[in-house]
């Protein structure tokens, strides 16, 4: 289990509970497998959601007094208010805001999900479908059905007039996931993300660029640990 008592080694700030459930469960898996040394981690969710990207320090300032504490901040690009900025520009702006408050830029990691969190499922989509479908003991729906359902559920997808599933999954991964959940008669729940994290290939998950960044950040700052993700 994650130790949530000070002094903290890592403060992990999320934009929503879905991302928090997914990545905290992944960290717990690392500990259970003996791949991650004991860490004191505080997991937080910013009530401003993805717009927290405009000033994440406001929520984290109570933790700036912890010596050598690392800060990892994660949000969706869509809805952040910084969609048109390059990643390096965003990262530098966030790092500068921490530096202005006495926190070394090296101790701050910025993880942005493009366009949204569910894009991390792309490399293992078939496995995600199986995990979700198993909850109803049913066969995973074909991607063609997911495409049609997503157009019914999402006005954005309908307006985009997407005709192939790969485009849907790449540009509207959240809508694809929600359509999958709907087709197997489940409700969207953050617990689904935790359940997925318990039963997916970590090696395959790291094919996603943002997941690789998070893994590298942890390995850089906690070098005594084995590979976590």
Q: Where are the domains of the chain?
A: 10-117+194-221, 119-189
Q: Read off φ and ψ for residue 83, nearest 5 degrees.
A: -60, -30
Convert the pLDDT of each residue in 43-67 to its tens digit. 998 777 766 667 788 888 889 988 8
Instruction: Write out the two tokens for 13.
Output: 């700030």
Instruction: State the Cα–Cα distance between residues 168 and 89, nearest whole angstrom.
Output: 27
Convert the pLDDT of each residue in 115-163 to its tens digit. 999 999 999 999 999 999 999 999 999 999 999 999 999 999 999 999 9
In contact, 135 and 186? CB cutoff 8 Å: yes
- What is the value of pTM for the model shown? 0.90
User: What is the rounded average pLDDT for all residues in the chain?
Assistant: 90
Give the pLDDT score at 227: 54
Instruction: State the Cα–Cα distance between residues 39 and 42, nearest whole angstrom.
Output: 10
b/e string for 54-73 if b means 16 or more Cβ within 10 A? eebbebbeebeebeebbbbb
């Amino acid at each position: 289990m994650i130790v949530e008592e000070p002094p903290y080694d890592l403060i992990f700030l999320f934009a929503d509970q879905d991302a928090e459930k997914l990545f905290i469960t992944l960290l717990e898996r690392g500990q259970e497998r003996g791949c991650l040394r004991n860490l004191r981690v505080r997991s937080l969710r910013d009530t401003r959601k993805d717009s927290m990207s405009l000033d994440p320090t406001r929520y984290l300032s109570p933790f700036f007094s912890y010596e050598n504490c690392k800060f990892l901040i994660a949000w969706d690009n869509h809805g952040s208010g910084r969609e048109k900025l390059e990643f390096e520009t965003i990262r530098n702006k966030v790092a500068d805001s921490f530096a202005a408050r006495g926190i070394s830029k090296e101790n701050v990691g910025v993880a942005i999900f493009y366009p949204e969190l569910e894009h991390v499922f792309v490399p293992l989509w078939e496995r995600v479908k199986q995990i979700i479908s198993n909850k109803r003991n049913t066969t995973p729906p074909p991607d063609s059905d997911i495409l049609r359902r997503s157009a019914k559920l999402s006005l954005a997808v309908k307006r985009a007039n997407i005709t192939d599933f790969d485009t849907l999954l790449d540009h509207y991964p959240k809508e694809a996931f929600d359509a999958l959940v709907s087709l197997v008669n489940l409700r969207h729940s953050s617990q689904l993300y935790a359940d997925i994290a318990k039963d997916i290939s970590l090696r395959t998950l790291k094919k996603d660029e943002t997941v690789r960044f998070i893994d590298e950040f942890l390995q850089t700052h906690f070098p005594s640990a084995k590979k976590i993700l």
